[in-house]
């Protein structure tokens, strides 16, 4: 069974890459022209979302530079330690919804510091895979299509991130300490 999974995963992307142009040619769709039109649309979308991205990056910088993130972490450390949650992963709870690259860099740092098989490394990796960059997604996707009111989506996304964070900790303790 494991060999089939490896075989499928090794060939899935190359088969798709070959299949799509062949199928388009069969349907008499101009592949190159369609690609160029899509690239033009993508460029226009990128131009439209740049102001949203700049705004988000400024907000993140202000949040971190003002000391607000350190303040929140300081408040949460005693609570987390009381429940046996490693305080080293608390910044990840704030970084992950904001920035994928920043949270990945922080996770990588935790793994190099504590090791991939440590509870901190396992929890950080699970959080990385169980949560999303909610603010980035809302900024890019909603900005691309011009949605201005994202309040409910933001609330649901952040609640989902909190649930993913808590579930990651619970599941790691359940799986790796049993």
Burial, 98: exposed, middle or buried (Cβ in 10 Å; 0-12, 13-18, 19+)?
A: buried
Q: What does the block give as tokens for 135?
A: 């603010």
pLDDT in tens, the chain (178 residues): 678 888 888 898 999 999 988 998 899 988 888 888 888 888 887 787 778 777 777 877 787 789 887 888 889 889 988 888 898 898 898 889 988 888 888 899 899 999 999 999 999 999 999 998 888 888 878 877 777 787 888 899 999 999 999 999 999 999 998 6
CA distance 68 to 71: 5
What is the value of pTM for the model shown? 0.67
Report which of 72, 147, 80 is spatially closest to residue 120, judged by C-alpha positions: 80
Query: What is the C-alpha separation between 170 and 164, in angstroms, rounded?
Result: 10
User: Helices (H), strands (E): how many in the chain?
Assistant: 9, 0
User: Which residues lie below 8 Å from residue 72, measured CB to CB, with a gap of 6+?
Assistant: 94
72, 94 Cβ separation under 8 angstroms: yes
Distance between CA atoms of residues 21 and 156, nearest Å = 39
CB 123 within 8 A of CB 147: no
């Amino acid at each position: 069974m494991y060999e089939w999974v490896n075989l499928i995963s090794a060939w899935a992307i190359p088969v798709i890459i070959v299949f799509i142009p062949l199928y388009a040619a069969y349907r008499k769709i101009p592949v190159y022209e369609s690609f160029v039109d899509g690239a033009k649309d993508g460029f226009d979308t990128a131009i439209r979302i740049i102001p949203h991205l700049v705004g988000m990056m400024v907000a993140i910088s202000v949040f971190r530079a003002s000391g607000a993130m350190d303040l929140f972490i300081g408040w949460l450390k005693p609570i987390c330690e009381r429940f046996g949650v490693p305080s080293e992963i608390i910044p990840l709870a704030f970084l992950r919804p904001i920035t994928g690259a920043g949270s990945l860099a922080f996770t990588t740092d935790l793994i190099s510091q504590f090791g991939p098989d440590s509870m901190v490394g396992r929890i950080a990796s699970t959080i990385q895979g169980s949560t999303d960059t909610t603010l980035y997604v809302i900024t890019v996707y909603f900005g691309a299509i011009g949605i201005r009111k994202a309040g409910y989506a933001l609330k649901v996304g952040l609640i989902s991130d909190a649930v993913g964070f808590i579930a990651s900790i619970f599941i790691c303790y359940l799986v790796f300490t049993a």
